[in-house]
Amino acid sequence: MTHVQAIPVTSLALARISSLVDSDQMRAAEEAAQIARARLAGRVFWSVSSTARGGGVAEMLPTLIAYARGAGIDARWLVIEGTPDFFRVTKRLHHALHGSGGGGTPLGDAERNLYDDVLRANAKELEGIIRPHDVVVLHDPQTAGLAPHLIRHGAVVIWRCHIGSDQPNEQTELGWSFLRPYLTDIPALVFSRAAYIPPWCERERTAIIQPSIDPFSAKNQELDEGTVRAILVHAGLVEGPSDDGLPTFFRADGTPGRVDRQADIIRLGRAPSWDVPLVVQISRWDPLKDHLGVMQGFAELVDGTAPAGAELVLAGPNVNAVADDPEGAAVFNEILGAWRQLSHADRRRIHLVNLPMTDAEENAAIVNALQRHAAVVVQKSLHEGFGLTVTEAMWKGRPVVASATGGIQDQIADGIHGLLVVDPYDLRAFGAAVRRLLEDRPFAEQLGCNARQRARVEYLGVRHLLQYEQLLAHVESWPELGQLSADGSLDQRGVDTVEAPDGAADAEAGRGVSDDP
């Protein structure tokens, strides 16, 4: 039997972010909240995803929903249930939309029947909770098949796609062909980049909204050096005295938390000492994150002659903890096998880390401490919808080396906010970029300062919420949901109230609603 899970979310006052954004943006957000509160009176604003932990969606939703609730909007979060076979199909869709073959498994009639059966069962439960005229945001391919059921039920449905490819190919066409029948009648589809919008999707139905972070969450809140050291020593990630701090943090509801669990770590020898510079990549165990390339590039070009003998930490969630990612264990085992083939000296400098996931905020606090301690944060993805870990590192003022792929290209201007590797398969260029930042610390520190300022202006949640209110205004301006007005256009009220980041407006100009921050 299918069990849709309601995820409890706290309430947060939007005003607490006022010290970090300019007064005009804060005023616009407060006005938008007031309008949305009136617009949604008596209705619920639902977010529906496929997991409550692991990945960017589960990272963003708790805070965005909490701020909406703090603004007086009845916002809630539901997580659907699926079988292992269902999640294998949706993972295949994930790879396809990124333009990757994903092992070559098919997306045929059998996969569609399985996908439909699971989502039909979930829809039956959702229809007992969601009422006509409620607003429902469905996240990613795992939930797209719910749209026809909920539209017939009378809900206002928005589909949010967090992934995509800059270069369409046979795989992206295969993925979109699978999903298109479920998206035909949805009045609004949201993408992270204009380049991700499929060619058959009408301009009037699309909006560009980039993801954001919460600077006060356990993953992003300020931690002093003593606390960072205490957390990392307790988790087993570094060695060194931790007498000058406690492994503590604040939870979303303001209550104190403590890191109690340790990471599962594969290493040869002891943990790095506190003064050893760490190169860190934190991401899901996914082939598109290219942990193997990171490991090989580091081993070949960031050798023991690098400053203070830098070491590499590849960290991700416990491989058994993320329900909608069936590849995690297999990918980690492949990385482990490659690690075992390295020389003894290289294995001593490369650490494979499975972070505890029992307590999501404890996990976030460990990630926070690890990013803050990193000498260089890397994200060498082969494909990336939007690099949320890149934004997190930018907010912490860390120098970043990342692939010039997907949304990362919008986040980082090369040589200003970080270093971009044009070809993600070029291990020599990747290793050289990492080594440059290890050797030229003043340059690395300047990149980190620039990155923090960019994150403050462009990637905090107040902008994200403002855009969602604008989107809702567009959707509900239609005479009939899912149909254009008589002149074939949408009401453009409020579209241009948020300024676009440098270069973002040039990305396939005119493809989507002009509300890209």
pLDDT at residue 325 in the model:
67
**Same domain, yes or no: 333 and 256:** yes
pLDDT at residue 503 in the model:
36
pTM above 0.85, yes or no: no
pLDDT at residue 356 in the model:
95
**Same domain, yes or no: 182 and 207:** yes
Are the C-beta atoms of 407 and 196 separated by less than 8 Å?
no
**Same domain, yes or no: 338 and 353:** yes
First CA to last CA distance, the chain:
42
**Same domain, yes or no: 195 and 331:** no
pLDDT band at 463 (very low <50, low <70, confident <90, very high): confident
Sheet holding 75-79, edge to edge: 5-7, 75-79, 45-49, 135-139, 156-161, 188-191, 206-208
pLDDT > 70 in the chain, percent: 89
Assess if residue 236 is contained within a domain: yes
pLDDT at residue 279 is higher than 70: yes
pLDDT band at 477 (very low <50, low <70, confident <90, very high): confident
**Same domain, yes or no: 312 and 419:** yes
pLDDT digits (tens, 9 = 90+) for 104-135: 778 999 999 999 999 999 999 999 999 999 99
pLDDT > 90 in the chain, percent: 72
pLDDT band at 483 (very low <50, low <70, confident <90, very high): very low
Assess if residue 2 is contained within a domain: no
pLDDT digits (tens, 9 = 90+) for 199-242: 999 888 899 999 999 999 999 999 999 999 999 999 999 998 88
Assess if residue 393 is contained within a domain: yes
pLDDT digits (tens, 9 = 90+) for 37-49: 999 999 999 999 9
pLDDT at residue 34 is higher than 90: yes
Please state, in angstroms and rounded to a whole number, the distance separating the CA atoms of residues 141 and 406: 18
Q: Residue 145 is part of a domain; what is its CATH number?
A: 3.40.50.2000
Domain count, the chain: 2
Structural domain harbouring 91: 24-212+461-495
Of 360, 312, 314, 356, the residue nearest 335 (C-alpha) = 314
Mean pLDDT of 421-448: 96
Assess if residue 133 is contained within a domain: yes
Please state, in angstroms and rounded to a whole number, the distance separating the CA atoms of residues 517 and 510: 15
**Same domain, yes or no: 297 and 178:** no
pLDDT at residue 320 is higher than 80: no
**Same domain, yes or no: 430 and 471:** no
Mean pLDDT of the chain: 88
The tokens for 252 are 């979303």
